[in-house]
């Protein structure tokens, strides 16, 4: 007789986009073991994404930059605990440092396809089987929804274009002037613009804002990841570089247009059926033509209900 699975340790990934792409695995585990409490090993960059997950237990932080020291601190925090199942989506062998009756790691995965989500789901292939892979998820509370309503209250209408023009990787950056031109040329299809990004990306959003002819709100540096998710859930379309915000938008069922330069779209495109993309011909997003982007976004927005 198979033993019950009541306690699970889920070892997630660190970066925001990667962490979002682990949530289909988390959802599949919950569907398989609805009564289980799932503790999560995360990173301080992305742990807030799990804050309101209704079936999670404790969140343990592993500091990636600390390497072995981070592992030692984590072991000290988790010591004495034993799990029925440990699912490790990393590659550093953490699953074998904790007490667990059963372990599933990348070393035994059977991938469902080329996309990162399909590869991550391959870690639990023996549990998930041939079922449909779940959507990515971000769980919000009323507080985040209230925040979004307040900061977006000044925008007219309901057809809003969300844009994140900044990025730490210069090769992923589409020119700020192009973002402004794109929005301005969609003025007959949208009623306002939402700008967002990290505090380091405020100069990029400010450049876009100066050239916009539409009502806008600039939230760069003013939202945490959950607040950003609530804001993006209200947009008709998100446009931005291959980044965490694009994956957050997709997890909120907001259609996305992603500029790709470094990575392959078929591998890291935001998970879902509403994902468009434009790809650089030479590893630099700055060379993606404005006209191509205008045509793609216009065609998409024209098909949206008023």
CA-to-CA dists, residue 226 to 44, 49, 229, 245, 303, angstroms: 14, 7, 5, 11, 29
CA dihedral sign, ordered 264, 122, 59, 224: positive
Helix, strand, coil percentages, rounded to 5, for the chain? 40, 20, 40
Q: Are 213 and 187 in contact (CB under 8 A)?
A: yes
The reported pLDDT for the residue numbered 67 is 52
Confidence of residue 71 (pLDDT cuts 50, 70, 90): low
Residue 253's region, left for phi above 0, alpha for psi from -120 to 50, else beta, is: left
Domains annotated for the chain, with CATH where assigned, are 7-128 (3.40.50.2000), 143-302 (3.40.50.2000)
Average predicted confidence (pLDDT) for the chain: 92
Q: Per-residue pLDDT averaged across 62-90, rounded?
A: 75
Tens digits of residue pLDDT in 3-59: 799 999 999 998 999 999 999 999 999 999 999 999 999 999 999 999 999 999 999
State how far the Cα of 252 lies from the Cα of 244, in Å rounded to an integer.
13
Question: Which pLDDT score is estimated for 167?
Answer: 92
């Amino acid at each position: 007789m198979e033993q019950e699975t009541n306690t699970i340790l889920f070892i997630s990934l660190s970066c925001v986009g990667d962490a979002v792409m682990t949530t289909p695995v988390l959802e599949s585990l919950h569907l398989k073991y609805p009564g289980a409490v799932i503790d999560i090993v995360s990173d301080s960059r992305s742990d807030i994404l799990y804050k309101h997950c209704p079936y999670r237990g404790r969140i343990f932080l592993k500091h990636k930059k600390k390497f072995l020291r981070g592992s030692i601190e984590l072991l000290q925090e988790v010591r004495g605990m034993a799990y029925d199942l440990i699912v490790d989506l990393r590659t550093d062998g953490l699953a074998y440092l904790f007490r667990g009756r059963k372990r599933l790691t990348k070393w035994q995965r059977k991938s469902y396809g080329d996309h990162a989500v399909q590869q991550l789901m391959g870690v639990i292939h023996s549990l998930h089987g041939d079922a449909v892979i779940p959507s990515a998820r971000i769980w919000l509370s009323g507080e985040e929804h209230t925040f979004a309503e307040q900061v977006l209250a000044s925008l007219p209408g309901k057809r809003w274009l969300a844009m994140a023009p900044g990025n730490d990787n210069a090769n992923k950056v589409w020119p700020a002037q192009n973002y402004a031109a794109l929005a301005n040329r969609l003025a007959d299809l949208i009623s306002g613009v939402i700008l967002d990004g990290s505090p380091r990306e405020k100069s990029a959003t400010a450049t876009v804002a100066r050239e916009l002819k539409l009502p806008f709100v600039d939230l760069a540096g003013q939202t945490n990841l959950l607040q950003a998710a609530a804001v993006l859930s209200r947009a008709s379309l998100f446009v931005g570089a291959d980044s965490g915000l694009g994956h957050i938008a997709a997890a909120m069922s907001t259609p996305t247009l992603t500029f790709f330069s470094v990575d392959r779209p078929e591998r890291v495109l935001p998970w879902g059926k509403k994902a468009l993309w434009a790809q650089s011909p030479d590893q630099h997003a700055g060379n993606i033509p404005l006209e191509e982007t205008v045509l793609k976004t216009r065609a998409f927005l024209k098909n949206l209900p008023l």
